[in-house]
């Protein structure tokens, strides 16, 4: 048996929310590994900034809103038409809400669900037949919050639980077609989405207190795990939700003694 390679040359990768935060780190990692990467998001300028200095033939920005099923289907067809295949898909686009559920408006809940849950649904529905054709795989960005409770994050946690269980169930449905589906589950990670909380030591302390490594995650901590799950090194891994959380999920959540 040859050693598995992390060389993604001649591999076509689609990353949603690829212009910022964890998505941008994943985009950079795949490009550095030789892949052709298409990134999408709602803000064209952020997508273009993320790809500055990258080869135009391997780094492509296509704006789209993942909550729009028709837009997602058109995006996927555009990628396949241009490159002839689709090998790896990373559903990463996400919104975040925190606070008491009774103070969350119906509009905010609908927007959160549309991005986090509907966005995954639209993308998976569009890409799975193409991944079956290429023998490809999907690696979603979920969260440790999808497998546990957190104070003040009921709505967000519910959407991430949906992602984790979409992955587990679809892995069963599509394994016979040669498609692998997995997810990474970060803990609190410093990104544009969480920068407000990241600057507030009092708000951040309860999260950091549960992290064995004693610090919040960074996008660059998550990207290598995505590459592993997308690579041949993980060829017998499917339906897995891999914690990339500094040890958060190893804890009961109780304060330090």
**Which DSSP category does 256 fall into?**
P
The one-character DSSP state at 215 is S
Least confident of 134-138, 210-214, 226-230: 210-214
Q: Is 156 a catalytic residue?
A: yes
Mean confidence (pLDDT) of the chain? 91
pLDDT digits (tens, 9 = 90+) for 51-106: 999 999 999 999 999 999 999 999 999 999 999 999 999 999 999 888 899 999 99
CATH architecture of 12-244: 3-Layer(aba) Sandwich (3.40)
Q: HSE-up of 176 (CA within 13 Å, CB side)? A: 3
- Single out the catalytic residue among 156, 166, 174, 188: 156
Buried b (16+ CB within 10 A) or exposed e, 183-208: bbbbbbbbbebbeebbeeeeebeebb
Please answer whether residues 29 and 224 qualify as being in contact, where contact means their C-beta atoms are separated by less than 8 angstroms.
yes
* pLDDT tens-digit map of 128-153: 999 999 999 999 999 998 888 878 88
């Amino acid at each position: 048996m040859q050693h598995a390679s992390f060389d993604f040359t001649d591999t076509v990768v689609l990353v949603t929310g690829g212009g910022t935060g964890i998505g941008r780190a994943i985009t950079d990692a795949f490009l550095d590994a030789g892949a052709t990467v298409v990134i999408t998001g709602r803000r064209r300028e952020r997508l273009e900034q993320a790809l500055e200095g990258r080869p135009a033939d391997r780094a492509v920005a296509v704006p789209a809103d993942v909550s729009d099923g028709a837009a997602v289907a058109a995006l996927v067809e555009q990628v396949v038409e241009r490159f002839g295949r689709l090998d790896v898909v990373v559903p990463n686009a996400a919104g975040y809400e925190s606070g008491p559920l009774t103070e969350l408006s119906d509009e905010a809940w609908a927007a959160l669900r549309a991005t986090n849950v509907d966005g995954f649904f639209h993308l998976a529905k569009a890409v799975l037949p193409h991944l079956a054709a290429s023998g490809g795989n999907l690696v979603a960005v979920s969260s440790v919050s999808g497998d546990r409770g957190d104070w003040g994050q009921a709505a967000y946690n519910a959407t991430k639980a949906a992602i984790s269980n979409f992955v587990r169930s679809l892995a069963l449905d599509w394994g016979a077609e040669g498609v692998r589906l997995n997810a990474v589950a970060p803990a609190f990670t410093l990104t544009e989405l969480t920068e407000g909380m990241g600057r507030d030591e009092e708000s951040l302390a309860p999260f950091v207190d549960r992290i064995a490594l004693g610090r919040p995650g960074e996008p660059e901590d998550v990207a290598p795990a995505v590459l592993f799950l997308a690579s041949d090194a993980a060829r017998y891994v499917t339906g897995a939700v891999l914690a990339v959380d500094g040890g958060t999920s190893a804890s009961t959540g109780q304060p330090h003694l």
